Amino acid sequence: MSDFQQTALQLAEQQQSPEWLNSLREQGASTWAKASWPTRKTENWKYLSLAPLQQYQQLGWGAAADSHALDEVEQLQLDATRLVFINGRFSSEHSSALPAGVVRFGEADDEQRTLISQHLGRVVDSERHLFAALSNAWAADGVLVHVPRGQRLEKPIYVVNISTPQRTPVAASQRLLVVLEDNAEVELIEHYASDVHAQNGFVNSLTEVVVGNNAQVQHYRINLEQEDLLHVGGVHVNLQRDARFHGFTLAQGSRLKRIDYQVNMLGEGAHLDLNGIYLPRNRQVIDYHTNVEHCVPHCTSNEVFRGIIGDSAKAVFNGRIHIHPQAQKTLAELSNKNLLTSRTAEINTKPELEIYADDVRCAHGATISQLDETSMYYLQSRGVSKADAITMLSFGFINELLNQVPEQAVQDYLRPRLVSLFGQASETVGQIGYE
């Protein structure tokens, strides 16, 4: 067992958790302990080093704290049910009153416990996803969002996870379980943020989503934490007949950041669309792995990921689409475009198609490019400075995806923050009203 595996197990022992989660925790701990630690030879971790995790001399659980990041989060102006976690601890002070169906695990009633036990750790395959096993071992607090048949939660659910600087590095485990019965609808936003100072912590997050027949989820995952914060996260989704998952994800890099999306098409007519943006800079890394399992006929999936990799940053995108033999009439598309803005930036992109059915339509593509010279010239020939032109073109590259974000508040929140990432001379871009 590696040092980090041991550290993590010790941390599990220090936790207080509801007794009824014990079997999941034990199962998780056992899988975690038995797993061989990934190396560069492990296919799923080929381009991402887990060394930063091994470098923790000590790692403990965090405590609630005040955070400037909250002011920042307030800027996302959305009328939502907000749940705030700081260093993994729930902050009732900063959270809204919860509507029926939304509950923290520790406060779940009998019926809800049954529901949690029935689904938690069942959407994700912890044998294949090492850090899901860890999440199971660390299962304690978490949020259940349950929407009964035919209903829609009036307000979006906004889960905020904030990391603050602590004297010694802290771990946080974030767990979200979403269960939608048939014809139900929900909008969810997961927002990971931190103070601007060095964090040196580790967040392990896991979201499981069960989408019933003809139910619909609009899901956002925003990772804008400071670069010293390590993060491994996963979003695992089961789609039943005619169920729809509309996802958007955006992340900056960090010393270690890995985000997995696993979507299982289990019922005919299910649909996934997932747009993603990654923006590593400095010496950050970011690794997105997506995997869509087309298990039944007539399902559609469309993934579009774009990355801008600057400085000496590194990005990994691995998009797997697996079309099972019975999944005829599948339409699956995957596009990954990358913009390298420096000579030392690195991208490893791999679309991975496994098709075992013969009557399907599949398209995938990956491109890597630099800023277009002709476009640069065009902008400059109109008096725009080189720095502004770089900002505009870089931002334009991802703005196409940002423009498709259905929740206007999320667009309005992200746009100026992204613009500010692309250079100092960005004032011209941010102030334009996009009515």
Partner 1 sequence: MMLNIKDLYAKVEEKDILKGLSIEVKPGEVHAIMGPNGSGKSTMGNVLSGRPGYEATAGSVTFKGQDLLEMETEERAREGLFLAFQYPVEIPGVSNMEFLKAAVDAKRKHQGLEEMSSVDFLKLARETCKRVNLDASFLKRGVNEGFSGGEKKRNEIMQMMLLEPELCILDETDSGLDIDALQVVADGVNAMRDGKRSFLVVTHYQRLLDYIVPDYVHVLAGGRIVKSGDKSLALELEAKGYGWLESEVV
Considering the complex, state which of residue 74 and residue 400 has its C-beta at the smaller distance from partner 1. Answer: 400
Residue 351 pairs in a beta bridge with 319
Give yes or no for a contact between 73 and 193, defined as CB atoms under 8 angstroms apart: yes
Considering the complex, state which of residue 38 and residue 430 has its C-beta at the smaller distance from partner 1. Answer: 430
Considering the complex, state which of residue 16 and residue 433 has its C-beta at the smaller distance from partner 1. Answer: 433
Considering the complex, state which of residue 92 and residue 404 has its C-beta at the smaller distance from partner 1. Answer: 404
> CB under 8 Å to 106, separation ≥6 — which residues?
18, 140, 141
Considering the complex, state which of residue 77 and residue 403 has its C-beta at the smaller distance from partner 1. Answer: 403
In whole angstroms, what is the distance from residue 120 CA to residue 180 CA? 14
For 202, half-sphere exposure in the C-beta direction (CA atoms, 13 angstrom radius) is: 27
Shortest Cβ 330–partner 1 spacing (Å):
28
Give yes or no for a contact between 135 and 206, defined as CB atoms under 8 angstroms apart: yes
Sign of CA dihedral 401, 403, 406, 412: positive
Shortest Cβ 236–partner 1 spacing (Å):
31
> CB under 8 Å to 21, separation ≥6 — which residues?
105, 120, 139, 140
Shortest Cβ 414–partner 1 spacing (Å):
14
Considering the complex, state which of residue 236 and residue 415 has its C-beta at the smaller distance from partner 1. Answer: 415
Shortest Cβ 272–partner 1 spacing (Å):
24
DSSP state, 369? E
Shortest Cβ 114–partner 1 spacing (Å):
48
3 state DSSP class of 11: helix
Considering the complex, state which of residue 354 and residue 400 has its C-beta at the smaller distance from partner 1. Answer: 400
Interacting residues with partner 1 (CB under 8 A) = 373-375, 377-386, 388, 392-393, 395-400, 403, 428-429, 431-434
SS3 content of the chain, % helix, strand, coil (to 5): 25, 35, 40
For 201, half-sphere exposure in the C-beta direction (CA atoms, 13 angstrom radius) is: 30
For 275, half-sphere exposure in the C-beta direction (CA atoms, 13 angstrom radius) is: 13
Number of helices and strands in the chain (H, E): 10, 20
Shortest Cβ 339–partner 1 spacing (Å):
11
Shortest Cβ 253–partner 1 spacing (Å):
21
Give the distance, in angstroms, between the CA of residue 180 and the centroid of all CA atoms in the same chain.
Answer: 19
Considering the complex, state which of residue 261 and residue 397 has its C-beta at the smaller distance from partner 1. Answer: 397
* CA dihedral of 79, 288, 118, 213, whole degrees rounded to 10: 70
Place of tokens 């697996």: 322
Residue 368 pairs in a beta bridge with 338
DSSP state, 101? T
- C-beta atoms surrounding 90 within 10 Å: 18
Considering the complex, state which of residue 22 and residue 404 has its C-beta at the smaller distance from partner 1. Answer: 404
Give yes or no for a contact between 116 and 144, defined as CB atoms under 8 angstroms apart: yes
Give yes or no for a contact between 336 and 347, defined as CB atoms under 8 angstroms apart: no
Tokens of 366: 């990956």
